[in-house]
Amino acid sequence: MDSLAPSTFGEKEAAKLLALGWGQGQVLVPTTPLPPASDGAYFVVCTHSCSVVSISLVRDPQIEVAEAHPVAHYKPRSDQARGRDVRKFHIPVNGARFEALEVNINVRRFVGRELLLNFKPAEFSATEKARRDFAGWIARYYARTAFPNELVGRLGKRIHGLLKEFLDGKCGRTETPRRELIDRLFVRFESDELLAGNPYHLDLMILCRDATVLEEFDETISRLFGGPTVTIDEVALTFETNSHDEMYLSELEGWIPWTDWDHLSGMWEAAIASNAV
C-alpha cells in the first residue's frame, strides 16, 4: 500500500471520501502519486459509488478510472453523447473551459482507493444526470451481447455491411437516419453446438418509436437483403419490425437485446482480435 495510505481504514475514512464528493463519474486530475496519463487527459471514476466509499479497504482496495480528454463543443445528438459508441462516451461538464470530456474505455488504470483521501474531485464536474448516463453506458459495456465467434465471422462477410447501410440510411421526408428511429433491436441465435454444418439461424426484431415508419423499414429490408427471410453467407436471417407501443413483454420471451447494434464494427473487430475470422 502507498505511503500516503492511512494506518487504518474504516468508517471515518469512508465518510471522508463521501464528504469529498467521490463517486462514479467524478473527475480526478492526474498527478503524483497517481498513475501517469497522456498529455491533457483527466481521469473519470468508473467504479460504482458504493465501492468508492466502502468502509473496507480489504474488500475494495482499488478503484478503476478511465482517461478522458476535453471536447471543445458538446453535441448532444452525437453517438458518443447518446451512449451508442461502445468505446467512447461524452460527458457534459460545468465550470470548465471546454464543454465535455471524451472518456476512452480502452485506456483505464487502477488507483489505490485510499489515495482519494488526499485529493478532491476536479473543480469542474458533470451533472448528476450525466453521471447516471455514464453509469448506464459503463454497465452496457460490460453486458454487451456476446455472439458466437463463428456467427461473428459469417456476419462480417456481407451482412455486417448491409445492416450498417440500413441503419445509416435516411427515412421519410425529414431524412432522419433509421438508427435514430429505432427504440430497441432484439436478437435470437443458436449456439455453436447446434450448427453441425448447417446455416446459423439469426432472428432480428426491430422495435420502432413510430409505427408510421414500419412500412418503409420493411421495404428497405427487402431491397437490401432480398426479403424479410433470406440466407446470406450461411446465416439464415429473419427480420421482424414492430412498434414498441404494440408489443407485450411476453412476446419478447427468448429474445435478448442487441446492446451494440449501433456500432456493429465492435463484433467484427473482436472477432479479428480473437483470430475467429
- The tens digit of pLDDT for each residue in 167-208 reads 889 987 778 888 888 888 889 887 665 565 678 889 999 988
Q: Which of 116, 133, 108 is nearest to 43 (CA)?
A: 108
What are the angstrom distances between the C-alpha of 258 and each of 16, 60, 109, 172, 262?
40, 32, 28, 25, 9
Could you give the percent of the chain with pLDDT greater than 70? 88
Domain borders along the chain are 11-142, 149-273
User: Which CATH fold topology does 149-273 show?
Assistant: Beta Polymerase; domain 2 (3.30.460)
**pLDDT bracket for residue 83 (50, 70, 90):** confident
Instruction: Dig out the grid coordinates for 190 from the structure.
Output: 443458436
Q: Which of helix, strand or coil describes residue 185?
A: strand
Give the count of beta carbons closer than 10 Å to the beta carbon of residue 40: 8
Of 27-31, 55-59, 192-196, 229-233, which gets the smallest average pLDDT? 192-196
b/e code 141-160 from CB counts within 10 Å (16+ = b): beebbebbbbbbbbbbeebb
Question: Is a pLDDT exceeding 70 seen at residue 5?
Answer: no
**Residue positions counted in the chain:** 277
Predicted pLDDT of residue 210 = 83
What is the tens place of the pLDDT at every residue in 244-276?
777 777 788 888 888 666 555 444 444 444 433
